[in-house]
């Protein structure tokens, strides 16, 4: 049945957090330049790290695009 695939964590210093993950045996799954850096912990848990406000900014951008489309309809 349905399950949670992964979860996200906001971090202030992505580079430092990535280094800690690797030092503790995590495997980085995505490209370092990806907006959301996915990793697999040694126990198999998958998560991602993002910079603060990543999803708030994406939501605001989507809202602005919708508003722009509505004005032109």
Q: Which of 57, 40, 38 is nearest to 48 (CA)?
A: 38
**pLDDT 10s digits, 23-57:** 999 999 999 888 899 999 999 999 999 988 877 77
Residue with the bigger pLDDT between 60 and 21: it is 21
**Structural contact between residues 39 and 28, judged by C-beta atoms closer than 8 angstroms:** yes
Residue with the bigger pLDDT between 25 and 70: it is 25
> Is the model's pLDDT at 12 over the cut of 70?
yes
Q: What is the pLDDT of residue 73?
A: 60
Q: What is the pLDDT of residue 72?
A: 64
């Amino acid at each position: 049945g349905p399950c949670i695939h992964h979860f996200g964590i906001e971090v202030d210093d992505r580079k430092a957090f990535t280094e800690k993950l690797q030092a503790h045996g995590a495997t980085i799954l995505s490209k370092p330049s990806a907006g959301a850096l996915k990793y697999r912990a040694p126990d198999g848990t998958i998560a991602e790290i993002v910079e603060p406000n990543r999803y708030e900014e994406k939501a605001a951008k989507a809202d602005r695009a919708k508003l722009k489309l509505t004005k032109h309809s």
